[in-house]
Amino acid sequence: MTDSFEVEGRPVSWVRDGALRGRPMVVLAHGAGAPYTHPFMVGAAEGLAARGCCVVRFHFPYMEAAQREGKKKGPDPQRRLLATWRAMLDRAVAMRGRGPLVIGGKSMGGRMASMLLAAGDAPEAVGAVYLGYPLHPPGKPEKLRADHLADVPVPQLFVQGAKDKLCDPARLRPVLRKLKDVEHLELEGADHSLARSRKTPMAEADVWLDAVADFVRRVSA
């Protein structure tokens, strides 16, 4: 199923994988540089759908425009990114009825989900999943993007590659120790895309897909 809506007059499309009835819904946002049609996002959605989830992917306005125009564009202002997340949640809530809802995403998309949660603007969610959380800019591990994470009111799962250049494991562990309800899956040898090899990026995805699906089931119980 696919559909669209507008945020500040800008079109946004979304797509759903998996049946709704009796399943938890997982809403995933893409990272800064790749659309929801990227093999990683498709693999995540299809993999979680095969594991009993209903999965929704959506574009931020800048990515929707980039796809339509065939050219790269930089991310929207944070205000618009968060507004898009909230607008997508409104539609997800209407679709899923009373079923459990978990939100998150790849890199920037997951970070925006965490900020929405920390601000109290996603009260419907029962959990958060971050696939390659961008803890800091590349080469700047001292500039942490973590202060708000303690304010996230739901269980959080961080899935990180041990060789992620945007998330130094040595910097992440102290952050996680300060959080109350958090889980962490570190993938040995994997990069920011949760892959050990660019030639076979989804070769070992079953490991983290199983972990995410298990987390979703537990927080949805």
CATH number at residue 120: 3.40.50.1820
Number of domains in the chain: 1
Q: What is the pLDDT of residues 44-93, one digit of tens each?
A: 999 999 999 999 999 999 999 999 999 999 999 999 999 999 999 999 99
- For the entire predicted model, the pTM comes to 0.96
Domain containing 88: what range? 2-220
How far apart (Å, rounded) are the C-alpha atoms in residues 182 and 195? 22
Instruction: Kindly report, residue by residue over 153-208, the tens digit of the pLDDT.
Output: 999 999 999 999 999 999 999 999 999 999 999 999 999 999 988 777 777 899 99
- Cα 193 off chain centre by: 12
User: Residue 88's closest CA among 104, 72, 77, 73?
Assistant: 104
